Structure 1
Amino acid sequence: MKKSIIYRTVYSRVARLSLAVLLIAAFFVACKKKVQPKESSAKVVKAPTSKAYYTCSMHPQVHEDHPGNCPVCGMNLIKVEVSQMSMSMGGNRVLLTKTQMQLGGIKTDTVKEQNTGEEKSLTGTVTTNENKTDQLSARIAGRIQRLFVRTTGETIRIGQPIYTVYSEDLLEAEKEYLLAKEQAKKLNNPDVDYQQLIAGAENKLLLWGLTRVQIRELAKTGEASAMVTMLSTIGGTVADVMVHEGDYVSEGMPILKTQALNSLWVEAQLYASETGSYRDHDPVNVSFPDLGGQSIKGTIDFINPELSGFSKVDLIRVTIPNPQGLIRPGMQAYVSAGGGEKRSLAVPASAVIYGGKGDLVWVKNADGSFSARIIKTGPGNSSYVSVLSGLTAGEVVVTGGAYLLNSEASFGNSDGQMNMSGMDSKMDSRMKMDPRMKM
């Protein structure tokens, strides 16, 4: 009996000890386990990084990472904020912001058939159209007391006051007119035609520069004056003022000269050996480098029959319209005359960038981005270059600001595949042939 009690006591203690050991082991195992965070099904989207660079409004190919002056023209650089995601869309696709489009002067044109025949280009100068000039002259002798138009470039209109003149002769003519009017009222001599006297005196005042309104005012007041304001009988832009206040003028002496800027001449010189290539009324294209290469169609309306001086060069003249007044006398112009009609699929010459790996153009995509594309070009002229492969009719190519797109591609891609370092002697030779392609 006593032995049984001892066995039960020992067994109970062993059981309790085993349970304690198991609890301690379980505790240590639980402590060693790490809580693993539950993986989220949402993906972290990296916010588009923004970067800024500094560029020149006149030379958008300049990209600097700090403010300063343009290394080309010295103007202050302006800051442009660019979103990295919006600027580069992968590969050679570039999407410009509105600010970049404005700064770069991006222009586009549609690929289509054009005349790529041989052209001859002449350098000319814009001059005034002498057929549209006019001159205001003094109608009567006297001294200029006041001059209302003093500088060139002013625009005057018909009926505008030009100058005030002091003239004794005009004073006597006014008195003669007033006397004829008074005699017609008071005298009743049937042998005298008073109306004829009045008409003669009035015509005299008209010939000496007074207007009918001024003559009616003279009849109304009945007061003659040696000081009379002369009104303009012509309109246009003042090209020259030939008198000053206090000058004495005689009848017929020029006061000022005007020109009409809505029609201008472009005059170009050529050697005597080249005159056989041009004829009156030949169609030509006139472009202006100061206006971004803007082109106007015209015809040759004059070829000088004489060679000028010892230089032995001839002169041709083209009349061009200028309704908006953008073209100004003194501007440089290029006159291109076609040597033959040859139509083919073509792009404007300004759209092609010539490089060592091929000729490149920038094509506008449907989403508004731009992509560079290598094309094969054929013969052309200063206006258009024929396309043998790489483009189809109807596609839109960049004709202005293509170098900005190259700069943006270089700026957004570290490999620099689209930089301008690949330009070779082909580009230099084309720039020599066509000075309009110079930047």
Structure 2
Amino acid sequence: MNRKDFLRNISIAVLVPSVLLAACVDKKTNTAAGSKEQTYTCPMHPQIVQNKPGTCPICGMDLIPFDKSSPADVLTLGASQQALANITTITIGTNEFSSFTQLNGRLTINPEQTTYVSSRVPGRIEVLYIKETGVRIIKGQPLYKIYSEQLSTLQQEYMLMADQAASFPGDQRFQQMEKAARQKLLLYGQTEAQLSALVRSKKTDPFVTYFAPESGVVAELSIAEGQYVPEGGTIMKLEAYNQLWVEADVYPSEADKVKTGQQVKVIVAGYEDRPQAMTISFITPSLQAGSQVMQIRGTIPNPNNQWQPGLQAIVLLSSTNKGKALTLPMDAVIRDGNGAHVWVEKDKNKFQSKMVTTGMENFDQVEITSGLEEGEKVVVTGAYLLTSEFVLKKGKNPMAGHNH
């Protein structure tokens, strides 16, 4: 080998490692620079995207980092995350489906179960055993004691007739007179026990106690101790709540959907899990003044007085029976300006948003006309949390990539 070739080989041996080292350093530098590139977005306004930290120009919130480079619109959550977010799924299938017309209603007192306690005789209220409203009383419970000279006179007459009938047991006239005097006191509200005690004591008692004719709650109290009341004067009003009326408003355009004897469902506010069956018993023949609505009415049982008059209620009129249809619970479908979508569990712990088209709805179910197939696993609870998590992680709306 001559001197010229030797020097050339030495130069190549020295330069090649330097070039390779420089290329490797350059590649590492570019890779590091690429890995450091980060994008940020606003959790409330995902359209705000920038490559450095800052605040949202719309709401002022701090921007958060997100992975914009991930092409898959799939959200992955671990088992603990799903439990924390209460993520549950169901397998969608066909079910019997009926749509309902929803009417706003309310619970009211059934006047057929209202009892007015009035004075049978004129007199003065000596003792009032119930002195406030809202008190629950039982049939036969003492309500008030009254002083009445008229009752004293009737008692004296009855005692006289009873003595005559006892003295002449064979005289039918005295027997009939005794029976008539006794019947008169019974009509004035005296009890059989009070009359028997009167005969035994042979002494009139102008202070007579009256008892509750029915069980109920004291709704009104019209008298106080020491007051004089006339014959027929109101003492108090009792209301029983073991049955309640349900009144609902019907617009004229919906009047053809209701008729007397029709079966409907009633949902009391706060007791959505216990719908009640009701028969429409009355429809007002004219519109309510100032409201331009009709009213329907029915009765529902109220065991243990669990509901109070005045509670809001919803009356559901069955309007259309479609038969078999793909249905989902209302909470499973998320609606926004882009349309409606649901979350589907594609694989274990992997969820994907799918756009759907909805059809008829009732109070708890919605029909799915397109976008899903029978057998798919759909998120029922926690769908809104999945949407929020997707926006935070991906920085975009889950519906952004769908064809609307």
The answer to whether the superposition gives a TM-score over 0.5 is yes
Q: 2:70 matched to 1:90?
A: no
Q: Quick one: distance in 2 between partners of 1:143 and 1:127?
A: 35
Q: TM-score, normalised by structure 1?
A: 0.60
Other-structure match for 1:239? 219
2:98 corresponds to which of 116, 138, 147: 116
**Does residue 183 of structure 1 match 2:164?**
yes
Deviation, 1:285, is 2.1
For each residue in 1:60-81, what CA deviation from the matched residue of structure 2 results, as whole angstroms up to 9, or x when unmatched? xxxxxxxxxxxxxxxxxxxxxx
Instruction: List runs of 5+ in structure 1 lacking aligned partners.
Output: 1-87, 101-105, 364-369, 425-439
1:159 and 2:140 correspond: yes
- 2: CA distance, partners of 1:325 / 1:198: 45
Partner of residue 35, structure 2: none
Contact 1:351 1:362 (8 Å CA) reproduced: no
Looking at structure 2, the residues matched to 330 and 213 of structure 1 have their Cα atoms a distance apart, in angstroms, of: 41
Distance 1:197 1:312 in 2: 62
Return the letter of the residue paired with 1:126: L
In the TM superposition, 1:373-388 aligns within 5 A as 376=356, 378-383=358-363, 384-387=365-368
Which structure exhibits the higher relative contact order, with contacts defined as CA atoms closer than 8 Å and separated by 6 or more residues?
2
The SS at the match of 2:305 is coil
**How do residues 25-36 of structure 1 correspond to structure 2 at under 5 angstroms?**
none
Query: What is the root-mean-square deviation in Å for CA atoms of aligned residues?
Result: 4.0
Alignment of 1:316 onto 2:305: no
- Aligned with 1:175: secondary structure? helix
Quick one: which amino acid aligns to residue 90 of structure 1? A
Secondary structure of the structure 2 residue equivalent to 1:164: strand
Q: Secondary structure at the match of 1:330?
A: coil
Residue 211 and residue 318 in structure 1: after superposition, are their counterparts in 2 closer, same or farther (change >3 A)?
same
Alignment of structure 1 residues 358-369 onto 2, 5 Å: 359-360=341-342
Q: 2: distance between equivalents of 1:266 and 1:153?
A: 22
Q: How far 1:128 sits from its partner (Å)? A: 1.0
Question: 1:212: how far off?
Answer: 0.7
Query: Which of 335, 339, 344 is residue 315 of structure 2 equivalent to?
Result: 335
How far residue 95 of structure 1 moved from its aligned partner, in angstroms, is: 6.0
CA gap of 1:216–1:296, structure 2 versus 1, over 3 A, is same
CA-CA distance at 1:189 after TM superposition: 8.4
Aligned length: 313
- The 1-side partners of 2:263 and 2:143 are apart by 42
1:133 maps to 2:122: no
1:141 deviates by 1.4
Matched residue SS, 2:178:
helix
1:154-185 C-alpha deviation (Å, 9 max, x unpaired) = 22222110111110111111122222233334
Cα deviation, residue 385, structure 1: 1.1
Q: 1:213 aligns to what?
A: 193
After TM superposition, the structure 1 stretch with the greater mean CA deviation from structure 2, 347-356 or 205-214, is 347-356
CA deviation map 1:11-36 (0-9, x unaligned): xxxxxxxxxxxxxxxxxxxxxxxxxx
Percent of aligned pairs with the same amino acid: 31
Distance 1:140 1:298, change over 3 A: same
Q: 1:387 to 1:232 in 2, by over 3 A?
A: same
1:196 aligns with 2:185: no
Cα distance between partner residues in 2 of 1:109 and 1:300: 37
Over 3 Å counting, the alpha-carbon distance change for 1:385 and 1:261 in structure 2 is same
Matched ranges for 1:208-287 at <5 A = 208-287=188-267
Cα displacement (A) at 1:373? 8.0
Q: Mind listing any 5+ residue stretches in structure 2 that lack a counterpart?
A: 1-76, 400-404
**Deviation (angstroms), 1:319:** 2.0
Answer yes or no: is 1:289 the counterpart of 2:269.
yes
Distance in 2 (CA, whole Å) between partners of 1:109 and 1:213 is 69
| Contact 1:410–1:418, Cα closer than 8 Å, also in 2 | no
> 1:298 deviation in Å?
1.9
Instruction: Judge conservation of contact 2:221–2:237 (CA < 8 Å) in 1.
Output: yes
Write the deviation string for residues 304-353 of structure 1: whole angstroms up to 9, x where unpaired. Answer: 11222344332221322222422221111222212211133434435544
1:150 matched to 2:139? The reply is no
